[in-house]
Amino acid sequence: MKKVLIVLAISAAMLSACGGGGKSGGADSSAAAKPDSAAAQRSVDTTNAGGKLIAKNDCLTCHKIDTKVIGPSYADVAAKYPSTEANIDTLADKVIKGGSGHWGSVAMAGHPTVSEADAKAMVTYILSLKK
């Protein structure tokens, strides 16, 4: 019983931090980034439609551009996936439905309130970060 309560508490904490779908504003938390690395301080481009959506949602709680936090960095995602329509569709579906297994054992909570068009705009922006 004690293990079940611990698992539930951890799950609730992850859900509220990574995928509550709320309007937390997604402010970039410098505490999770490496303070001595200028690249780790790079911000989401809010002049880009996808970047603006990322900043507006809770994405930056679990992801940063150049630094792995809870989920992979956006630069790592861009390096792994070529910017193709198939990959944009697949990753947009992951944003909406959530999932795990591609970047470790921590699951990304789904964001069912994000529209397919918005998810595709966010993914297109992320894949544009490929170096």
- In this predicted structure, the answer to whether residue 107 has a pLDDT above a threshold of 50 is yes
| DSSP conformation class of 108 | B
- Cβ–Cβ under 8 Å, residues 41 and 34: no
Q: SS3 of 98, please?
A: coil
More confident residue, 2 or 65: 65
Per-residue pLDDT reduced to its tens digit, 13-48: 444 444 444 433 333 433 343 444 444 457 888 889
More confident residue, 81 or 23: 81
The full DSSP string for 18-66 is H------TT---TTTS-TT-TGGGPPP-TTSHHHHHHHHTTGGGTB-SS
- In this predicted structure, the answer to whether residue 59 has a pLDDT above a threshold of 60 is yes
Going along the chain from its start, the domains and CATH numbers come out as: 2-127 (1.10.760.10)
Instruction: Find the length of the chain.
Output: 131
